[in-house]
A and B are shown apart, each in its own frame.
Chain A
Amino acid sequence: MLRYIGFRALNAVPTLVVVSFVAFFVIQLPPGDFVTTQLQQLESQGATVDPAFAEALRDRYGIGEPFLVQYGTWIRNIVLDGDMGLSFQYQRPVTELIGERLPLTLLLGVATLLVTYLIALPAGVYAAVRQRSGADYTISVIGFIALATPNFLLALVLSYIGFKYFGQSVGGLFSPEYVDAPWSLAKVGDLLAHLWVPVLVLGIGGTAGIIRTLRANLLDELNKPYVTTARAKGLPEGKVVRKYPVRVALNPFVSTAGWHLPSLFDGEVIVAVVLSLGTVGPLLLASLKSQDMFLAGGILLIVAVLTVVGTLLSDILLAAVDPRVRFGRA
């Protein structure tokens, strides 16, 4: 087992190197650079900039340097002193920008994950146990609709309904009067009042897949002889379902649990943008749009690391559950 884990961990290193290189390369692919973005932005807001000044900016940022030199400097600073460089757009250290958005990002991610499972697991079990009943069809139809509706559209519709019928304000996670207030019960209440929309929107979108997988797996299990035996022995139906079949059917979720790590971090970008949430997602989108290299590269690198770490965790979990995996025979 230890040998297996060590081997997996070693595997992760070259993967990370390649991913970081590719990420940095891809960010540089579009024509133009941060300075052209900046020029255009200034112009679209009513101020033109002297091209000579733009050239001076490029020199200042080292934008003209060869790709490998830029990449080397970037990686060296990250590995040696955790310095991800300066965001062009914000003119602030990247680590600081990401750091201040982390708590909210994780809060939203964890809350969304919980809501997704709280809705999806019971619904999936119920749909399987009551196969081909009205409830099963209803759950499936709702699940498919949720899957087919783009999340950001749902967010917009909810926002509009809130405005039209309840005179509710949308955007952000705090009402203005609580923005600078110290933490209190009232402030937490205010946060929750704003948080439910994104959590619901993001949570609902993820339920359909889980419901279908769980339903199918559970249906396989429920027809197995040991379940029939348990029923014949007079165990209550609830216990029959709960004791083993559900646990076995949950296997796929255990093996993919690690993948939730990166999605916690860069969850639904577009929904966060539409609802103006101060999470990492909108920051990533903005940095890619403006070719803010160090910011975009930094976020992508973190997501890549989390993906690799998450996969590693999943592998270890799987190995723990299924001995065949450990010996490379599966």
Chain B
Amino acid sequence: MEKTLAAMTRRGFLAVGSAGLGGAALAACTSSSETPEFAADTDALESPMLAELVAAGSLPELAERLPATPMVVEPIEGTGAFGGTLQRAQTDATATGVMQSFAPTGLLEWNVASDASQESLAESYEISDDNRVYTFTLREGLKWSDGEPFTSADLAFAIENWLGNATLVPVPPFWYSDVDQQLPMFDAPDERTVVIEFREPFSLFEKYMCHPGVSTQFIKPKHYLEQFHPDFADQADVDAASAAAGFDSWDQYFADRDNTWTNPDRPTMGAFKVTAPASAQSGTATLERNAYFWKTDPDGRQLPYVDKIQVQVLDQSALDLRAANGDLDFQGYYLGYSTTETYLANAESRGFEVLRWTDTWSLLSLCFNLSHQNEALREVFLLRDFRFAMSHAINRDEINSTLLGGLGIIRNPVAPEGTEYGVDGSGQTAIEYDVDRANELLDGLGLALAGDVRALPDGTPLELTLLYMDDNQGMSRADAFGMVQEMWAAVGVRLNLRPVDSTLYAQLRLANDFDVDGTSMIEEDFDLEPVWFVPTGGNSHTAPGFGLWYSTSGADGIEPPDEFKQLLANWDALRSAPTADDRVASGQEIMQAHNDNVYVIGLMKLPFQPVVVNSSLKNVRDDAPKMSFYYGREGITKTEQIFFE
């Protein structure tokens, strides 16, 4: 579980250079006037790479490999040619994000607009009116990448023997837990049907089943993994095999065998499978097309169009240089905003384009610790006027023009307008720069100046420490917070900056031991990760004490005031909403409360996320889709249908 969770969130892909060498480069260099040689037969329904194997007798005919009703994918621009090798890179060897971006698997998936679910491995699905019972019907004749049939028994294995095994998954994950931390009821009446029943409505389950980081975890090959699981194999054999492989216990070995990014033997349902994991020697992972992949284009040609993907593990600076050199065919995640100019300067001469996708993750914000251990400070932070004053004291335009050339988008963190939970006109409360108003509010709260620093009612000076992780990927945090420091000093609040390492940062927040936290906030799809806006756990950025209180049902932590109890009640209502309308209404109430009270002070977010795309790579969305973990990052462009012309 630790592995899959970690896997869920990492990123990734590989880069290559020197056009003119290798298949991808060949594809990339072909001028549009002549047909590239590997796509000579545009009527072919399968990649020449696979046709060769069929001719040699080592692979069944295409008709036998596809299900009875393959999923048909509408190409974004038009149908394409088979072949080519796509180069990507990533900075972390263990990150498995590429599997979610380029080879996601799930019963459901997002539609192209990413605002609703659609069938994927499931041919059809039904959700009961009260959001309690979810019934999925699988396509007929689906096969794993090794040719074995994919049936409801595989799902039963994932749910009963993996999620249901306390050693493998100690705590039910939040995306699959029912009342009182128990698992929902599961039934597989026949080979193609699965029924999941929750005891109380779970309105978000449909979304989780589309979230590539979550839905993938339900798709496990029983016929392969059962040999590593004591429910099916002899415990002594399983233990011996784990020990022989150098693991302390069978569950670690199971997780290792179940990792599609590092274990080429593990069958998959995704568009690509790893044939060579990224070893230390090569620093590069190679993925090849899955011969049994179950999606086609409208002409009945088996997807994906691209034959191979190579992912190189690189340091950040090397990765940025490679992107600027045109060595990366399609990469958005891992690219820093600050290097955009270099990409633009080199794009034309090195044959790639720089797209501007929507950034969902960069609103630099200041979170007062509303559950501060020090009661005097906590009381002050919980006063709405205090937060308004501190917001008015910040000259955001100046920070914007200094750090982002005025391109940054100034707002407080709330769901953007036009999204499901968006409230019209929100995110602009107390955002204008007004020192007089700030001083007036602070004076009104009795925080009188003593010298040039204000004092709390008990006489201690109002001196706060801002905790943050230093990061220059987007805008320089040290610079931005340095300017805030000066602006707050001007209204009599002293701020000390404390940049820390990521581990210490997490530690201090979990221990509820900070005054102000400087972080990037998510704004969209907060329902998939409520902790950013509702203190649901001890890892909250705004009120870890309240979060602990909530997650331990009041046994631990700090009891929140009524307004936060209301926020948490709204969250509970959202999670168990019987209808979509109720769910959205609860979500909007949470956003309304954030908008009216400015629980978090926002500064500004980046105008876009740069994405580099090889000029000859087609069917990549250019309508600025969201770059987000919830949509599989680059996967939002449905990567199985991109092709090299």
Give chain A's interface residues, CB within 8 Å of chain B. Answer: 30-33, 36-53, 56-57, 59-60, 83, 85-86, 89-93, 95-97, 100-101, 103-104, 156, 159-160, 163, 167-177, 179-180, 273-279, 282-283, 289-291
Which residue in chain A gives the minimum CB-CB distance to B97?
A45
User: Closest approach, in angstroms, between the C-beta of A213 and any C-beta of chain B?
Assistant: 33
Given contacts A48-B529, A85-B248, A163-B324, contact A175 B21 (CB under 8 A): yes
A91 touches B256 (CB 8 A): yes
Complex-state Cα separation, A44 to B501, whole angstroms? 12
Q: Does B493 contact A (CB under 8 A)?
A: no
A171 touches B539 (CB 8 A): no
A171 touches B503 (CB 8 A): no
Name 18 interchain pairs, CB-CB below 8 A, sorted by A: A30-B501, A44-B502, A45-B10, A48-B529, A50-B174, A52-B551, A97-B280, A100-B280, A163-B324, A169-B16, A171-B283, A171-B319, A174-B283, A175-B16, A176-B14, A180-B276, A274-B318, A275-B315
Q: Does B325 contact A (CB under 8 A)?
A: yes
B9 touches A172 (CB 8 A): no
A172 touches B314 (CB 8 A): yes
Q: Does B6 contact A (CB under 8 A)?
A: yes
Complex-state Cα separation, A133 to B242, whole angstroms? 67
Contacting chain A: which of B37-45, B505-513, B609-617, B634-642?
B505-513
Complex-state Cα separation, A104 to B22, whole angstroms? 24
B321 touches A31 (CB 8 A): no
B94 touches A90 (CB 8 A): yes
B322 touches A170 (CB 8 A): yes
A49 touches B282 (CB 8 A): no
A167 touches B16 (CB 8 A): no
Given contacts A59-B170, A170-B318, A170-B322, 12 further A-B contacts (CB under 8 A): A32-B506, A39-B506, A40-B505, A51-B537, A52-B171, A53-B170, A91-B94, A100-B279, A101-B280, A167-B325, A171-B321, A177-B21
- For chain B, the bracket of interface size reads 35 or more
Complex-state Cα separation, A51 to B552, whole angstroms? 10
Which residue in chain B gives the minimum CB-CB distance to A272?
B315
Which of A52, A96, A172, A176 contacts B87, CB < 8 Å? A176
Give chain B's interface residues, CB within 8 Å of chain A. Answer: 1-3, 5-6, 8-11, 14-18, 21-22, 85, 87, 89, 93-95, 97, 170-171, 173-174, 213, 245-248, 252, 255-256, 259, 275-276, 279-284, 286, 310, 312-315, 317-319, 321-322, 324-325, 327, 350, 361, 469, 501-508, 510, 522, 529, 531-532, 537-539, 548, 551, 628-630
Q: Which 9 A-B pairs have the closest CB atoms?
A: A169-B17, A93-B246, A46-B629, A171-B318, A56-B170, A176-B16, A278-B280, A32-B507, A40-B506
Given contacts A31-B504, A46-B522, A48-B531, contact A276 B315 (CB under 8 A): yes
User: Closest approach, in angstroms, between the C-beta of B538 and any C-beta of chain A?
Assistant: 4
Complex-state Cα separation, A163 to B328, whole angstroms? 14
Complex-state Cα separation, A279 to B557, whole angstroms? 45
Which residue in chain A gives the minimum CB-CB distance to B504?
A31
Which residue in chain B gives the minimum CB-CB distance to A273?
B315
Complex-state Cα separation, A60 to B508, whole angstroms? 23
Which residue in chain A gives the minimum CB-CB distance to B471?
A44
A50 touches B173 (CB 8 A): yes
A42 touches B170 (CB 8 A): no
Complex-state Cα separation, A40 to B519, whole angstroms? 12
Complex-state Cα separation, A95 to B85, whole angstroms? 33
Complex-state Cα separation, A85 to B281, whole angstroms? 22
User: Closest approach, in angstroms, between the C-beta of B320 and any C-beta of chain A?
Assistant: 10
Which of B6, B17, B532 contacts A175, CB < 8 Å? B17
Complex-state Cα separation, A30 to B252, whole angstroms? 26
- Chain A residues lying within 8 Å of B256, measured Cβ to Cβ, are 91-92
Which of A47, A175, A283 contacts B5, CB < 8 Å? A47
User: Closest approach, in angstroms, between the C-beta of A312 and any C-beta of chain B?
Assistant: 29
- Chain B residues lying within 8 Å of A101, measured Cβ to Cβ, are 280
Which of B85, B313, B503, B548 contacts A291, CB < 8 Å? B503
A169 touches B503 (CB 8 A): no
Complex-state Cα separation, A29 to B388, whole angstroms? 40
Given contacts A93-B247, A170-B318, contact A179 B629 (CB under 8 A): no
Most buried by A among B282, B313, B503, B510: B503
- Chain A residues lying within 8 Å of B14, measured Cβ to Cβ, are 176
Which of A45, A90, A163 contacts B321, CB < 8 Å? A163
B317 touches A159 (CB 8 A): yes
B325 touches A169 (CB 8 A): yes
Which residue in chain B gives the minimum CB-CB distance to A173?
B283
Which of B95, B246, B312, B548 contacts A172, CB < 8 Å? B312
Given contacts A96-B246, A159-B318, A169-B327, contact A42 B280 (CB under 8 A): no
A274 touches B315 (CB 8 A): yes
User: Closest approach, in angstroms, between the C-beta of B316 and any C-beta of chain A?
Assistant: 9
Most buried by A among B280, B318, B630: B280
Complex-state Cα separation, A279 to B313, whole angstroms? 13
B539 touches A51 (CB 8 A): yes
User: Closest approach, in angstroms, between the C-beta of B440 and any C-beta of chain A?
Assistant: 37
- Chain A residues lying within 8 Å of B245, measured Cβ to Cβ, are 93
- Chain B residues lying within 8 Å of A171, measured Cβ to Cβ, are 15, 89, 283, 312, 314-315, 318-319, 321-322
B321 touches A60 (CB 8 A): no
Which of B18, B93, B171, B317 contacts A156, CB < 8 Å? B317
